[in-house]
Structure 1
């Protein structure tokens, strides 16, 4: 079951080191990610995208404000939220199948159901034939598919993805983007996806939220005008990319806090 995510006046300040001033990364961040929505967070390095994601995951606590998932206040990590990192985070001493099974075992899912779920998830990401391999035997793209399968197998209500394809070559990245969309369309989970890529945001998102450098202010929140499926070479996709670029350029040039209608 998918759930919404609500931010209520969220701020995050990190203490300064060795007498340096404290650093406020996010200030007064508010908004909602709707049930089943695929939201992309976009913005320059250091704007607070990953900090927002980490607070939703429960790895970091807001300095002030509230974050709730399905009406429940986020107080720490939980099984209702699954996260996929850029660097895979697979256990190297376990096989692909075992990596995917671990979260189910932690939830005390019966063995027969675990095996059925592992097979279904690995078939969904094209890794069933590689189930007995270890991470060191996999390509970067295969490792990321395994990480996605592991997250989906645990059946979280919200999926958090922190630039999961950034380290991959262009061909593998495009392939996994399409696989991710196919899986998402089948599961209809709520997704918050952090990216630096305008093209990736235009291709994947239901809505693109652009954060500025100044304490994570929302520069624009752009509902996608595109139907699905999408082709990255279509004129309407390219037009949406140009719209996103224009907002990014305005943010860099002016720093003005403005929200798109």
Structure 2
């Protein structure tokens, strides 16, 4: 069962060194992510997207306001939330198979179900034939695919993804976008996905929330008009990309979209 995520007047400020003004990266941010929703966060570098993700994960606390998951304030990391980082967060002393089975094992599933889950996830990301390899034997892209499989195998209620496909080649990226949507549809979980790619956001999201550079808050949230599955070359997808690009250009210029 998935959970909703709510931000209530969230502000995040970091103290600066040597008497410089404090750096506010998120300011008075209120937003709700519905159960089962696939939300993409889009915006310029440094606008606070990853900070938002980290607060939901429980890795950081708001300076003011609250973040709630399933109606409960986030007090720290928990098994109900799975995170895929930009870096390859794998245990180097375990092979790929063992890395991926840690999540189902922690949930106490049967051995047979655990094997089924691990094989399904590794086949989905194209790593079944490499399941006995250790992280040092994998390419960067393969490590990230293994990290994605490990997070999804735990079947969290909320999945938090921080540019997980950025280091992959174009073909692998397209393949994993489709596999992620298929797995998300099967798990029926809530996803918050950070990306710099407008096309990726348009192809994946139920809703795209755009952050601005000034003030550290969302400046526009666009519900997708597109049905699923989506053809990246269709007129409808391209038209929505243009709309998102137009709002993003305003946000990057420091002008709040209307």
Structure 1 length normalisation: TM-score? Answer: 0.93
**How many angstroms apart in 1 are the aligned matches of 2:121 and 2:165?**
19
The 5 A counterparts of 1:185-204 are 185-204=185-204
**1:45-76, CA deviations, whole angstroms, 9 ceiling, x for partnerless residues?**
11000000000000000001111111111000
Deviations 1:117-172 (A, max 9, x none): 32232233332222111122223332222111111111110000000111222222
8 Å CA contact 1:38–1:207 kept in 2: the answer is yes
State how many pairs are aligned.
258
Of the structure 1 ranges 104-113 and 236-245, higher mean CA displacement relative to structure 2 is found in 104-113
Shift, 1:111, TM fit: 4.2
Q: 2: distance between equivalents of 1:115 and 1:234?
A: 39
SS in 1 for 2:253: helix
Q: 1:11 — aligned with what?
A: 11
Structure 2 counterpart of 1:65? 65
Q: Which residue pairs with 1:96 in the alignment?
A: 96
| Alignment of 1:146 onto 2:146 | yes
Q: Distance in 2 between matches of 1:244 and 1:96?
A: 38
Report how far residue 115 of structure 1 moved: 3.0
Structure 1 pair 171–125 and aligned structure 2 pair: CA distance change class (3 A): closer
SS in 1 for 2:24: strand
CA displacement at 1:112 relative to structure 2: 4.4
Q: CA deviation at 1:188?
A: 1.9
Aligned to 1:165: 165
**Which 5+ residue runs of structure 1 have no aligned equivalent?**
none
| 1:204-223 → structure 2 map (5 Å cutoff) | 204-223=204-223
Task: Give the gaps of 5 or more residues in structure 2.
Answer: none
Name 1:178's counterpart in structure 2: 178
Q: Is the 8 A contact 2:24 2:216 kept in 1?
A: no
Structure 2 counterpart of 1:250: 250
Query: Post-superposition shift, 1:30?
Result: 0.4
Flag as ranges the 4+ runs of structure 1 deviating above 6 A.
none
- Cα contact 2:214–2:254 (8 A) shared by 1: no
Indicate if the aligned counterparts of 2:48 and 2:217 stay in contact, CA closer than 8 A: no
* Post-superposition offset of 1:109: 4.2
Give the TM-score, by structure 2 length.
0.94
Q: Any idea what the Cα deviations from partners look like across 1:152-210, whole Å, max 9, x if unmatched? A: 11111000000011122222212211221121122221100000011111111110000
Give the CA deviation at 1:254. 4.7
| Structure 2 SS opposite 1:6 | strand
Q: CA RMSD in A?
A: 1.6
